[in-house]
C-alpha cells in the first residue's frame, strides 16, 4: 500500500494482526492463499510475522467487504492502490458497477417487501385452508 502509515509497531503475529484489524485468523490465511495479502516472512520457528503494510491492506479489504465489494473487485482496487500514479477511472468504474448492483438489489428487496406486505395484509387469521399467505405462496404470480 502506498498510504502514509503511522509509526511502525514492528512485526506482529497473526493473532495480533487479527485483533488489530478485526479479521479472523482463518480469513487472513484465506486472503493470503488467494493472493490479496502477500505471504509474510516467517520466523525460524515458522511463525508468520506481519508488518504495518499487511495491517493497512487488511483494513482496506475489511472496509471494502463491509461496503459489499466482491473479492475480484477488491483485488482490482488493491492493484490500483498499489499503483498511485495510475488514473482512478478504473476505481470509479468498479464503484459505479457495484452501486448499480446495490441499486438493483434494493429494487428487488422493495418488490419483496410489497409482496410480503400484501400477503400478510390479506391474511384473515382463520384456517390454513383459507390462508392468503399459503395461497400466495402456491400462486407465484400473486407475489410479483
**78-126 pLDDT tens trace:** 999 999 999 999 999 999 999 999 999 999 999 999 988 888 887 777 7
Architecture per CATH, domain 7-86, reads as: Orthogonal Bundle (1.10)
All three cell numbers of 33 = 492463499
pLDDT of 17 above 70: yes
All three cell numbers of 82 = 498499489
Q: What's the predicted TM-score (pTM) here? A: 0.78
Non-local (6+) Cβ contacts of 81 within 8 A are 1, 2, 3, 60
From CA 133, how far away is CA 119, in angstroms rounded?
Answer: 5
**Could you say which DSSP state residue 12 is in?**
B
Q: Report domain extents, the chain.
A: 7-86, 91-144
From CA 70, how far away is CA 105, in angstroms rounded?
Answer: 15
Say if residues 12 and 6 touch (Cβ distance below 8 Å): no
DSSP run (H or E) holding 128: none
Amino acid at each position: 500500500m502506498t498510504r502514509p502509515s503511522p509509526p511502525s509497531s514492528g512485526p506482529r503475529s497473526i493473532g495480533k494482526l487479527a485483533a488489530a484489524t478485526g479479521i479472523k485468523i482463518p480469513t487472513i490465511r484465506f486472503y493470503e492463499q488467494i493472493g490479496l495479502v502477500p505471504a509474510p516472512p516467517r520466523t525460524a520457528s515458522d511463525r508468520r510475522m506481519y508488518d504495518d503494510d499487511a495491517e493497512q491492506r487488511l483494513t482496506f479489504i475489511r472496509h471494502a467487504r463491509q461496503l459489499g465489494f466482491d473479492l475480484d473487485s477488491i483485488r482490482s482496487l488493491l492493484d490500483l492502490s498499489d499503483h498511485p500514479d495510475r488514473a482512478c477511472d478504473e476505481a470509479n468504474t468498479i464503484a459505479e458497477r457495484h452501486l448499480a448492483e446495490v441499486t438493483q438489489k434494493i429494487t428487488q428487496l422493495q418488490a419483496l417487501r410489497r409482496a410480503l406486505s400484501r400477503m400478510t395484509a390479506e391474511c384473515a387469521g382463520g384456517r390454513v385452508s383459507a390462508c392468503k399467505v399459503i395461497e400466495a405462496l402456491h400462486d407465484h404470480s400473486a407475489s410479483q
